[in-house]
Amino acid sequence: MPQINPDNVQDESVYWIKHPDQFECLMSARRMEIVDQLAQIGVCSVAEIANTLGVKVSSLYHHIELLLSVGLIECVGKRGVGRCEEKLYRTPGAVMRYGITLGDSSSFDIYRRLSEYQARQATRDFTRGLRSKHLVDAGSQKNIWIFRLVGAPDADTLAKINQHIEAIAELFWSSAGQDNPLVVMSAIVAPVPRAGEETQS
């Protein structure tokens, strides 16, 4: 879920995550995963989410209730399954984006903690990917990567990098709901002080 200033974008398909209680709720790799899956798949039941994630249905109910309570997902109805009914859920937007900027110390802490949980989820995703029957490790359809890059891009190059990251995110979002194998990409980009440089407190 990339971060950008929501005041610069007007798109009804985008839901901006802004409230502290929403970010606190996302301090869970599992809840991040539920939100991501619902945004990608669309309306579905807890049983369908559990099947996609490969977990027991009973392990998700607590997470679903927490996500509902802060508005990160919503119940949109029910459907009959045999003699029973199951609730159906979706995200409030087709695209879910972080909507706070790094303007104060509280947002610093939010993003620091989010990076920890996102990195944990990325490890889980990569491990599952290595075991996936859909794994492709070479060629134009390659769907598994791991690398770390360090550079010193100038302003023009950094602008191009940001444009490419946004373009990649749009490609992922535009594929939502398609009946193809799921692919996950996590990204953390940060300026790293050189030795001896001062950092912000």
DSSP-assigned states of every residue in 22-75: HHHHT-SHHHHHHHHHHHHH-SB-HHHHHHHHTS-GGGTHHHHHHHHHTTSSEE
What pLDDT, on a 0 to 100 scale, did the predictor assign at position 177?
82
Burial level of 70, CB count in 10 A (0-12/13-18/19+)? middle
Q: Find the range with the poorest average confidence among 104-113, 149-158, 170-179.
A: 104-113
* Cβ-based neighbours of 176, under 8 Å, separated by 6 or more: 39, 40, 41, 42, 94
Distance from C-alpha of 1 to C-alpha of 95, rounded to nearest angstrom: 8
Look at 42 and 69; give whichever has higher pLDDT.
Answer: 69
Looking at residue 111, the DSSP 8-state letter turns out to be H
90: helix, strand or coil: strand
Other beta carbons within 10 angstroms of residue 144's beta carbon come to: 14
Looking at residue 3, the DSSP 8-state letter turns out to be B
Residue listed under structure tokens 């890059």: 149
Other beta carbons within 10 angstroms of residue 89's beta carbon come to: 22
Q: Convert the pLDDT of each residue in 124-151 to its tens digit.
A: 899 999 999 999 999 999 999 999 999 9
Please state, rounded to an integer, the average pLDDT across all residues of the chain.
88
What pLDDT, on a 0 to 100 scale, did the predictor assign at position 199?
67
Q: What are phi and psi of 7, to 5 degrees?
A: -70, -15
Q: Is the pLDDT reported for residue 20 higher than 70?
A: yes
* CATH match for 1-201 among 2.60.40.650, 2.40.30.10, 1.10.10.10, 3.40.140.10: 1.10.10.10
